[in-house]
Amino acid sequence: MERYLQGLGVSPGIAIAPALLFFHDRYDVPTYAVTDLDAEMARLDVAMRETRNDLENIYERVVAELGERHAAIFQAHLMILEDVTLREELTEYLVEHRHNVEHILDTLTKQYVRTMDSVDDPRFRERTADMLDVMDRVLRHLLETERPNLRRLEQESIIVAHDLTPSDTASMDTNKAIGLVIEAGSVTSHSAILARALEIPAVIGIVDAPESVKAGSLVIVDGSSGRVIVDPTRETCKRYVKAQQRLAARRAKLLRVTKGKPACTRDNVNVMLSANIELPLEIEHSLNVNAQGIGLYRTEYLFIDRDSLPDEEEQYEAYAAVARAMQPHPVVLRTIDVGGDKFVSHLQTLKEDNPQLGWRAVRFCLAHPEIFKTQLRAIFRASAHGTIEVMFPMISGLEELRNVKTLVSEVACELDEEDVSFDRNIKFGSMIEVPSAVMLADLLAQENDFFSIGTNDLIQYLLAVDRVNEKIAYLYEPAHPAVVRMIHQTAQAARVHGIPCSICGEMAGDALYTELLLGLGITALSMAPVAIPLIRAEISHIHLEEARTLAKQVLKMRTAKEIKSVLAERHLARAKKYDYLMAPDQFMFSDEDNS
């Protein structure tokens, strides 16, 4: 019987394939008495050596495919493997109980996990997952049992799992793993990041995902809506296959007809379209869709999932590489934005009751100037290799901005004294994602080179809605009149003071809002690379003066429903007329399907 499951879409697109259930269940471990203790320890040594080889091979592959930053987690795994204390505990337990070494390893691992889980600190939960990943490998070598992996899949599959470890995502066969359905994780988890980077449709937050789907069951994943359909009927499959084919054809057509062309309105006004990226491999995707730069490079991903801070040299190499690759286009680096839903275990020591409103972004950087200045030094040095701009996240007022700029000035002076080359005309801007920043936009505009509105956070702070809480997801509404008014107020403050104002949140990549955003005064849009061809096509059929008239009408509207109805009618009329309709739900039941 057809069943619909609703989760959170973290990577858009449609995938249809049989389910492959991926488990990390603990398995039966034999228990028996031993007399030759040296032989048991020798077995352990062999298993650990084989595990070390596994991890080193994965590390080298990840370095080649994703870069050293994402391979650092496996260096941490090697450190766990080499832990002298762990070996001493195993030896002591073996001498005392004289049981086979795999039973001892399994027992100690379970004890360790219970201890870690009893501590109310996310750092320990992260370490537990890492340790389990390593110990599972050792145990499987001792048992001579093949470790479940996703490296070589026999057919195209939808991977259904409770969670995916770093090892799982790093080794995944991305040619045949065409969709992901995951119970745990977040928009910043390994699996979500990789799915977006490789354009694999993915949905997270499906409760009891592995238990809700039988192995081999046909599954449809709609990564745009967060919908998962299990055992779809023939008619449902027919609709989604048509939607998938039409989506693929239109993406290809859009890319073909828009590549190499600027985003230009019907009345010849250019709109800069840039890409949001997290991983080095997304640079190629950005270039392929003719991005006019990187509008948001999330630098915090250099800091996450590792046991030590990236030093100045590592950061410099990462920033310089993207600057060189995107020449002559600009690259906007967002300074480290840890905290909230991006937890960095070795930097934070206290669990916060409300992390989204807590010690994050520039607040964290100002509390740790030594970390912040190291990043700024790396950014300044990288600016010698391309056009780099810098924006500061979660600025809430003038004093905060000025404190940040003081540290920026200190770093510039230090590099000058050291005779280090850097761009002395580098531009600095603020992310507008806190309501107080909108209210002070006229003042902030006087001390910034540009604004970039982070609509994801602005909406959740303005409407008091946790954007990843499924219970109140319906309240997260980009078309809310208050959101529209705040975007307009910010854009107008930027215009008055002669600075550009872009949007780098999810609204930028949603064609439903493109005409309105331009009419409100937005001058540039930055989005996931996959969305750029569609937005470029949308802009080419918009007249800016008409967009401004629309914006005036929308600013007088009282409800989100009223606003979305008008925007949808206009967008659908354009998209159908010029044949670039892209959202699957919008053409799932089109006239063509019913004919």
Selection from 297, 305, 340, 350 nearest residue 321 by Cα:
297
Query: CB neighbours of 6 closer than 8 A, spacing ≥ 6?
Result: 206, 226, 227, 228, 470
Determine which one of 190, 285, 480, 488 is catalytic.
190
SS3 (DSSP) at 467:
coil
Selection from 551, 569, 557, 547 nearest residue 480 by Cα:
557
**Lookup: tokens for 304:** 């996450």
The order of strands in the sheet holding 202-204 is: 3-6, 227-230, 218-222, 14-22, 157-161, 177-182, 202-204, 8-11
Cβ-based burial of 192 (10 A; exposed 0-12, middle 13-18, buried ≥19): buried
Per the listing, tokens 């073909």 go with: 256
Neighbour-count burial for 391-408, b at 16+ CB within 10 Å, e otherwise: bbbbbbeeebbeebeeeb
| 190 noted as active-site residue | yes
Determine which one of 141, 501, 504, 571 is catalytic.
504
Residues in the chain: 595
Instruction: Name 559's bridge partners.
Output: none
**Lookup: tokens for 329:** 């286009």
Cβ-based burial of 182 (10 A; exposed 0-12, middle 13-18, buried ≥19): buried
DSSP label at residue 147 = P
| 497 noted as active-site residue | no
SS3 (DSSP) at 35:
coil
Selection from 432, 372, 368 nearest residue 396 by Cα:
432
DSSP label at residue 358 = S
Integer Cα distance of 552 and 512 in angstroms: 17
Q: Where are the alpha helices (DSSP H) in 393-513?
A: 398-417, 435-439, 441-444, 455-463, 481-496
Instruction: Kindly list the catalytic residues.
Output: 190, 504
